[in-house]
Chain A
């Protein structure tokens, strides 16, 4: 019987990977990818159906605007013309398949709202979202895990209560509320940072380094918002897992061995706490590309979240379809990654 612990062992020790094991992993990953394709089909079908059923459509808005022009065709005529133009004169199912036929070839068409190819718009905005998400992700890990561990080590102490209260505040506060408070303090009262936007008014006149600093300064408040709303759950998660591990019998064994407290906590306990944490964090890696719709919108950061928000409001079917399918792919990828990581870090998990 081959099992992933051997992979774990090989990875850790840096030795050659057993061929049989990789084959099993390959099969597992291939199977999951095939299932993902089926899932993507249904996900995109449902999203397309919903998009077509939205109460306001891009075409109707356009027709309304065009019909008010002096000497123009009637509203009804415009709707018919535009429907034919945008390919909306067919049924939902037919419309979906003509979208899917092109999407398979990675041709997502032009965005109606932005008047440029979807992929072009996407690649111009995604890095803002990624930078924002990555910054808050790194800070989250750097703060939440040590805080969770020290809270668990000193259960029911002042540290523990502080961490718990901070975590609860973070979990409970909606991002728009916290963002508003931040804006009020740092922009309105102190005037240190701009209220919104990704660049300042004089961005063009700055040197390259100055431009970088300018963007970084505009990222501070959105990053802080994302950090506070996401940090609580990871802190609690770390604390809970650490408490469970610290109470385990093998920690008592480690203490009986006469190891130093540092070694017991950092080596024995933390190693076992890592299993669920790595799984959780690894699974959220693809999510870094997903954008933060609310936070980006609040601060008008031109990332994928804010861009998609505008498209959804306008009923821009090609862009929204792309964004939604992209999100679905990220979620599936995250789950797959979590499962693989689970096998890699936990010697007990076997892929069957």
Chain B
């Protein structure tokens, strides 16, 4: 069993949950209605997440990459039910969380947490840092009253914050420190699974490295599972065990990090990876430039969604959506170029 599998076909979705998979996402869809017209009726849908399936093994990190606007963040938030899904299933520890009522959902928050992209706006300006980190701990009754103070101090120290920071307000901190507060806030609830929604893209490069290292340390210490959303490929390569590449709401390619970086199969992945700067000036590499803009997710192209910008576009791509094909070792791709490889 590979670390990650894209359960695109009905046969795989019937597959039984195994102990190792902390998260299974099956045919997840999230459509946002577009309202317009004189009476404000629904005139269409933005297909932000369109049939996405993957699984994550306990203790590993899955990187989710793609252009901005391709639905990465929406996927992360829909998994956590911060947004309500349109269709599909999300199984956490083998349980379908989409059927949870409010009370169970609140309990689930202690197991699944999220670190948001913008450390500036995602912290309440009116609360001191200790309260931001500890509030939910108290609310969920995770720690006894006597141990509470020491617990918060411990978490803060683990995340590189000092005890005297407790009484300060978020505006007194730098971006990197604020992201540490966000991380401490998420980890204070002792989650098993954390969605990192572009946690470093708002920070400068030197601070990015510190935060990434902190996330990795914490993962080792606490056996955390991450879904790491980013558009920065080098960061994703560094931190992820498996990678999913998204384009226009769909996963086009998934597999182990090494496999995908060594041999990207999908033309979109190839184009994406050819944009990574290499620290070797003598290295001649072919740069694949994508033509045109990313199409509107409200009206995605028929057939393969990528066919409008694909340099290998064939006739079949314009009408038939490609199915997921396993190219070995759990490396799954959705592209008609590999139809024969499977058939033969």
Contacts and interface: CB of A to CB of B under 8 A. Distances in A.
B84 to A, nearest CB: 12
B171 A258 contact: no
Contacts of A346: 125-126
Given A5-B169, A348-B169, A259 B139 contact: yes
Interface in A1-40: 5, 9
B122 A347 contact: no
A268 interface: yes
Interface of A: 5, 9, 248-250, 252-261, 263, 268, 271-272, 275, 346-348
Contacts of A248: 121
A5 B126 CA distance: 10
Central interface residue in A248, A255, A256, A258, by most chain B CB within 10 Å: A256
A243 B182 CA distance: 24
Measured as residues with beta carbon below 8 angstroms from the partner, the interface class of chain B is 20 to 34
Contact of A258 (B126, B128, B136): B136
A347 B136 contact: no
A134 B14 CA distance: 68
B220 interface: no
Contacts of A347: 125-126, 169, 171
Interface string B79-112: 0101000000000000000000010011111100
Contact of B106 (A250, A258, A271): A258
Nearest to B40: A156
A257 B109 contact: yes
B123 A253 contact: yes
A256 B116 CA distance: 10
B213 interface: no
Q: Is the interface of A mostly helix, strand, loop or mixed?
A: helix
B113 interface: yes
Interface of B: 80, 82, 102, 105-110, 113-114, 116, 118, 121-128, 135-136, 139-140, 167, 169, 171, 182, 185, 189
Given A253-B122, A257-B189, A258-B107, 8 more contacts: A257-B135, A258-B139, A258-B140, A260-B106, A261-B102, A271-B126, A272-B126, A346-B126
Nearest first, the 3 closest Cβ-Cβ pairs linking A and B are A258-B109, A257-B136, A249-B121
Contact of B116 (A5, A253, A261): A253
Given A9-B167, A348-B171, A250 B139 contact: no
Nearest to A274: B126
A256 B80 contact: yes
Which residue among B121, B122, B123 has the maximum number of chain A CB atoms within 10 Å of its CB? B122
Contacts of A253: 116, 122-124, 182, 185
B9 to A, nearest CB: 33
B115 to A, nearest CB: 9
A256 B108 CA distance: 10
A256 B114 contact: yes
B35 to A, nearest CB: 10
Nearest to A9: B167
B82 A256 contact: yes
B80 to A, nearest CB: 7
Nearest to B124: A250
A257 B109 CA distance: 6
Contacts of B136: 257-259
A247 to B, nearest CB: 10
Contacts of B167: 9
11 contacts: A249-B121, A252-B122, A253-B124, A255-B82, A257-B109, A258-B106, A258-B110, A258-B189, A260-B139, A263-B139, A347-B126
Contacts of B121: 248-250
Contact of A259 (B82, B107, B135, B169): B135
A256 B106 CA distance: 9
Contacts of A271: 124, 126-127
A258 B188 CA distance: 12
Contacts of B105: 258
Contacts of A261: 102
Nearest to A156: B40
